Amino acid sequence: MTLFPPKHLLSINDLGAEGIDEVCRLADHFTEVSQRPIPKVPALRGKTVAMMFYEDSTRTRLSFEMAARRLSADVMGFSVSSSSVNKGESVRDTVATISAMGPDAIVVRHRSAGVPHQTTAWTQASVINAGDGWHEHPTQALLDCYTIRERLGSVSGRRIVIVGDIKHSRVARSCVMAFTALGAKVTLVAPPTLLPPAAESWPVDVSSSLDAVLSDCDVVYGLRVQQERQSEALLPSLREYTAQWGLTVDRAARLPAGALVMHPGPVNRGVEIAPEVLDQPNATLNEQVRHGVAVRMAVLYLLLAAVPDLQPDEGVQ
Amino acid sequence: MSIVIKGGLVVDQAGERTADVVVDDGRIAAVGPDLSGEEVLDAAGCVVAPGFVDMHTHLRQPGAEEAETIETGGWAAVRGGFSAVVAMPNTNPPIDCAAVVQEVLALGAKAPCDVYTSGAITVERKGDRLAPMAEMAELGVHLFTDDGNGVQESGLMRRAMEYAAGLGVVLAQHCEVDSLAAGGHMHEGVWSSRLGIPGVPAEAEELMVMRDIALSRFTGAPIHFQHLSTGGSIAMVKAARQAGVAVTAEAATHHFTLTDEACASYDPVFKVNPPLRPAEDRDAVREGLADGAVDAIATDHAPHTPDAKEMPFDQAPPGMLGLETALALAITELKLPIADVVGLLSWRPAAIAGLGGEHGGPIVPDAPANLCVFDPEETWTVDPDNLASRSRNTPYAGRQVSGRVRHTIVGGRAVLVDQEMRP
């Protein structure tokens, strides 16, 4: 095991089960902070968190920014559209430019797998992966673990079905690692064209039938299925996808009582999950977003606070 | 000025013997005991071999001189013991007509090693229509390839093979079916799955190997397969040769040295096409080189500037340096008798590239004096900052290897003496 806390969060593997538990423990505390009249603590006062988003993002970016601000860190926004990258500055030069201003952490999102890894070679700052290509999105998996823990008490022993475009999903890779690290039993469900290569090497069961696994699970986790998968000949049509793998009202009715319906967003309403199902009380989409702030506060605190064992708001009250 | 190479073990196609070798006026003057010459090159403990031949070198000129020139690539070659290289045609402009062939050959005349060039099979390597192979063949081009691209269209490939056979030249295929490989950046398998990097399946290579064996059988034209990287490809070549089909094959140094696990660093220095494969394939390449299924080692030396390689993995260009490390990796990784290593690097590629008269031995009086003297035991550490190539993209940085070139003689001229380049 590497150093704990790690300097960077590139992969769920950087945390392991104990690290995930620690993030959840801290997130409990920050959830309480978030409920205060003034939901802000000085834990990271004087620290600077730079946002380097090479890809469009609403919830992840806002969530990280809010998390940093609630810890009293300064936020450097830096938005790079992929077109401006093509025009000139390399990622390395951009990282060097940002690093020259001395941030303590850089939060990176990029459409290419591995860019956060590469970034660590080009900066002294802590690097947090906010999603890289098809590779990982560790803070999403952490907030999902936190959400399951909040709702069901623990992740351990839960039967979690992940359904959708797993092949192209960084969320799926991080979630599989996190859920299995915590002792859940994970089943991937997708048309075979949307499964990753060598899926048998993942620590999961694989099924191509949602109906076969639906009645025997604690969580159904839907992933976004994009329109372009049709033109890539991975799907005949979204209509067929929904008919076979969509969480329709009928299928949702067959879920065991209390089973959760989760999704990382943004949802294609009516494709992955029926609109009516999204409105049911066992659908956790908004909770996931809400927990995202506390979990990202926990991650920033874990990586950046000089003495992480101190209470985060020590000296304030 | 005559040169005597003293005290080495002479290894060529005829066998091994301890002898001195005298070189004079561009040719080997004498081979035997206790010879003398005006300049003495010490070869004690060394192998005296035919100069190596790389039939797969990207020299980048014209068009990408910031990565390599024919001259700097030539120096990288002689540091690696190569007396001859065959330039690949994926330059800008591509080497697809007599005019560009002449430019490359003219620049090559000033390089420290002999520079030959391949020509493109199709105009601009686009796979649409045949390039003027006859006018290039008249200038001495023997290998034709769209390297970097496979010729996708089967009908066009058939015609190219028929046309080439009539000219007495050989087509060399970069085997990759685009519709299977498109969008991929590493081998498709356990590692690509874990890393989230789009993959290229082994079948993208194997399908084209299969097709071209069929076309070779059909047309009677010979086919050379470039940089085979999978066990399936090698098994097909072996079976085709046994069935009498005129196939030859090369393997690149990195495909018998590295595996796809190296991509876990996300360092594009490990990105290459065909991609690094799993250990089973690497072992199949080693076995193919050992049992003769694969005819020769090629470097696929592919220089890229640091800026080009310090990119996200899926945006970086494929390719890695190879000329200066090929011998050492062959000795270190293959663990074959030294004469086999020498053959894989010299007379066997020379024969495929049509250079048998000039390069690849034998080391006998009156033969052209293209020689390489190396110490098979010397260990050294690969240092990207100590390369003659203009680029630095070696995947072997920090690796300790055995086998080092001491002297290289090209056309009777000692261009590398005690590892020092002699401009």
The pLDDT of residue A235 is above 60: yes
User: Same structural domain for residues A143 and A279?
Assistant: yes
CA distance B195 to chain A (A): 6
Per the structure, the count of domains in chain A is 2
- Report how far residue B50's alpha carbon sits from residue B372's, in angstroms, rounded to the nearest whole number: 6
Q: Is any Cβ of chain B less than 8 angstroms from the Cβ of A90?
A: yes
- Asked if A112 and B265 come within 8 Å (Cβ–Cβ), the reply is no
CA distance B266 to chain A (A): 5
Residue type, A172: A
- Asked if B196 and A198 come within 8 Å (Cβ–Cβ), the reply is no
User: Same structural domain for residues A90 and A153?
Assistant: no
Residue A230's pLDDT is 78
Task: Give the per-residue SS3 of A15-80.
Answer: CHHHHHHHHHHHHHHHHHHHCCCCCCCCCCCCCEEEEEECCCCCHHHHHHHHHHHHCCCEEEEEEC
User: Same structural domain for residues A300 and A236?
Assistant: no
Residue A227's pLDDT is 78
B238-267 residues touching A, CB cutoff 8 A: 265-267
A181-210 residues touching B, CB cutoff 8 A: 196-199, 201-202
Which residues in chain B touch residue A197, judged by CB atoms under 8 angstroms apart?
Answer: 188-189, 192-193, 199, 201
ipTM of the complex: 0.93
Residue A89's pLDDT is 81
Which residues in chain A touch residue B307, judged by CB atoms under 8 angstroms apart?
Answer: 90
- Asked if B197 and A133 come within 8 Å (Cβ–Cβ), the reply is yes
**Residue A4 falls within a domain, yes or no?**
no
| Most A-contacting residue of B188, B190, B194, B280 (CB-CB within 10 A), to test interface | B194
User: Same structural domain for residues A156 and A275?
Assistant: yes
According to DSSP, the β-strands at B3-12 and B47-50 are parallel
- Asked if B193 and A202 come within 8 Å (Cβ–Cβ), the reply is yes
**Residue A317 falls within a domain, yes or no?**
no
User: Same structural domain for residues A118 and A198?
Assistant: no
Where do we find the tokens 């995947």? B395
- Report how far residue B175's alpha carbon sits from residue B356's, in angstroms, rounded to the nearest whole number: 25
User: Same structural domain for residues A70 and A204?
Assistant: no
Q: Read off the pTM.
A: 0.95
Where do we find the tokens 């993208």? B204
The pLDDT of residue A20 is above 60: yes
- Asked if B196 and A201 come within 8 Å (Cβ–Cβ), the reply is no
- Asked if B311 and A135 come within 8 Å (Cβ–Cβ), the reply is no
**pLDDT mean by block of 10 residues, chain B; 423 residues:** 97 97 98 97 98 98 98 98 98 98 98 98 98 98 97 98 98 98 97 98 98 98 98 98 98 98 98 98 98 98 96 97 98 98 98 97 97 98 98 98 98 98 94
| From B300, B307, B340, B383, the catalytic residue | B300
- Asked if B190 and A198 come within 8 Å (Cβ–Cβ), the reply is yes
- Report how far residue B80's alpha carbon sits from residue B243's, in angstroms, rounded to the nearest whole number: 36
Structure confidence at residue A315 as a pLDDT band (50, 70, 90): very low
First to last CA, chain A: 36
**Residue A119 falls within a domain, yes or no?**
yes
pLDDT, mean of residues A77-102 = 78
What element of type H or E holds A108?
Answer: strand A105-110
User: Same structural domain for residues A106 and A71?
Assistant: yes
- Asked if B199 and A91 come within 8 Å (Cβ–Cβ), the reply is no
**pLDDT tens-digit series, residues A151-183:** 999 999 999 999 999 999 999 999 999 999 999
- The conformation of residue A14, written as its DSSP 8-state character, comes to G
| Cβ neighbours around A315 below 10 Å, total | 9
Q: Is any Cβ of chain B less than 8 angstroms from the Cβ of A134?
A: yes
Residue-wise burial string across B286-317, b where 16 or more C-beta atoms lie within 10 A, e elsewhere: bbbbbeebbbbbbbbbbbbbeebbbbbbbbbb
The pLDDT of residue A82 is above 70: no
Strand partners of residue B40 = B4
**Residue A316 falls within a domain, yes or no?**
no
**pLDDT tens-digit series, residues B154-184:** 999 999 999 999 999 999 999 999 999 999 9
User: Same structural domain for residues A51 and A155?
Assistant: no
The pLDDT of residue A316 is above 70: no
What tokens does B386 get?
């100590």
Active site residue B300: yes
Structure confidence at residue A4 as a pLDDT band (50, 70, 90): confident
- Residue in chain B closest to A136 (alpha carbons) equals B196
- In the sheet that A48-53 helps form, which strands lie side by side, from edge to edge? A74-79, A48-53, A105-110, A126-132
Structure confidence at residue A84 as a pLDDT band (50, 70, 90): low
Q: For the domain that residue A130 is a member of, what is the CATH number?
A: 3.40.50.1370
- Report how far residue B97's alpha carbon sits from residue B181's, in angstroms, rounded to the nearest whole number: 28
**Residue A18 falls within a domain, yes or no?**
yes
Which residues in chain B touch residue A86, judged by CB atoms under 8 angstroms apart?
Answer: none
**Residue A5 falls within a domain, yes or no?**
no
**Residue A229 falls within a domain, yes or no?**
yes
Give the angle subtended at the CA of A198 by the CAs of A192 and A204, to the nearest 5°.
80
Residue A83's pLDDT is 47
- Residue in chain A closest to B266 (alpha carbons) equals A114
User: Same structural domain for residues A66 and A115?
Assistant: yes
- Report how far residue B415's alpha carbon sits from residue B411's, in angstroms, rounded to the nearest whole number: 10
User: In chain B, what are the domains?
Assistant: 50-358 (3.20.20.140)
Which range of residues forms the domain containing residue A155? 138-284
User: Same structural domain for residues A195 and A236?
Assistant: yes
User: Same structural domain for residues A270 and A142?
Assistant: yes
Structure confidence at residue A2 as a pLDDT band (50, 70, 90): low
User: Same structural domain for residues A100 and A162?
Assistant: no
- Report how far residue B189's alpha carbon sits from residue B94's, in angstroms, rounded to the nearest whole number: 33
**Residue A109 falls within a domain, yes or no?**
yes
Residue A172's pLDDT is 98
Residue A1's pLDDT is 42
